[in-house]
Amino acid sequence: MNITRRRLAALAPAGLAATTLARPALAQGAGDYPNRPIRMIVGFAAGGGTDLSARTVQPKLQQLLGGTILIDNRPGAGGNLATELTVRAPADGYTLLMGTIAALAINPTIYRNLPFDPQADLTPISQAGSILNVLVVPADRPWRTAAELIAAAKARPDTITYGSSGVGGAGHLAGALLDQMAGIKTVHVPYRGGGPLMTDMVGGKIDYAFSTAPTAIPQIEAGKLRALAVPTLQRSPLMPNVPTVAETLPGYEVGNWYALVGPKGLPAPVVEKLNAAMRGTLADPDVRAHLARHGVEPTPSSPEELARFIRDETAKWAPIVRASGATPD
């Protein structure tokens, strides 16, 4: 799938590109940065794990920066549209991206002809967090274990559906890897974020999903969804009674994480100020407690550590993505 600049421009508010391009980048130090609102782009619809995590850190982050942060949801193409918006923005610190494993590490393998390279065209600022995903099914489905779901899929190839928050995301990859390792064939249904996906899951329109904990747990507690497993090698302290997929399929593991990045060429003093504010935010007890309740573990880092992490994650997942057969559908 080729994400064209014409398509991207159609998604931007009228006059936004011209306005932002006309603004000068900061050339000397951080100065009085920020002296106007910062736009934090989220590549998924409101209500999903990425959006909830961004909104959790927003108040403390803007307090420490001494400015305003506006969340801008730009769903589409597994985070690619939001990423390109960030790549094309001026390198002045007023456009940031809450990036995901999909946009920053997996999509370059899945999508052909991407108009950007996450490693070359973005400035790493800090890791944000790793998030727990949960294999869930609607409460009216008969399956109570991952093994039962796999058995049903083997009995009915190409009929059981799984949803994800977008092509290339951890939920998509988790389903594709489950197909590969379990020897089953299911049908992928991509959404524009975890919020819309959860609406259809609760409504029983999708058979299963690897949903982020922030969006899944309230529905599990309400009895609308059933948790079958988590895609980690060890059971999660957040859901200690829920088994791992690896207990059924040894070695099965799919992680999920977020990171704060900006356009290529952000001035070093601005990066330093943003990194310090992000570290302070993720160290705040209230922020940490809120994230923990939603299955997010804060993972602050230096810009250099994030750059290495993205490089390593891209190299790690590329052969797995190819072997899984995951495609843009």
Same domain, 67 and 85: yes
Number of folded domains that form the chain? 2
Give yes or no: residues 175 and 235 share one domain: yes
How far are the Cα atoms of 8, 80, 116, 191 from residue 4, in angstroms, in the given order? 6, 10, 11, 20
Q: Does residue 92 register a pLDDT over 80?
A: yes
Go through 71-105 and write b for each residue having 16 or more CB atoms within 10 A of its CB, e for each that does not: ebbbbbbbbbbbbbbbbbbbbbbbbbbbbbbbbbb
Query: Is pLDDT of 200 > 80?
Result: yes
Inside any domain, residue 23: no
Find the domain containing 98 and state its range.
5-18+29-131+256-324
- Are both 270 and 122 inside the same structural domain? yes
The identity of residue 134, as a single letter, is: V
Question: How does the average pLDDT of the chain come out, rounded?
Answer: 89
My answer on whether 114 and 145 are in the same domain is no
Same domain, 107 and 147: no
Q: CA-CA distance, 224 to 209, in Å (whole number)?
A: 14
For the chain, percent of residues with pLDDT exceeding 90:
74
Tell me if 33 is assigned to some domain: yes
pLDDT beyond 70 at 18: no
24 in a domain, yes or no?
Answer: no
227 and 292 fall within a common domain: no
Over residues 38-47, mean pLDDT: 94
Whether 15 has a pLDDT exceeding 50, the answer reads no
Judge if 204 and 221 occupy the same domain.
Answer: yes
pLDDT of residue 327: 77
Give the domain-ending residue among 187, 219, 247: 247
Which of the residue ranges 54-58, 196-200, 325-329 would you say has the lowest mean pLDDT?
Answer: 325-329
In a domain, 98, yes or no: yes
- The whole-number pLDDT of residue 78 equals 85
CATH classification at residue 88: 3.40.190.150
- Residue where a domain terminates, one of 215, 247, 279: 247
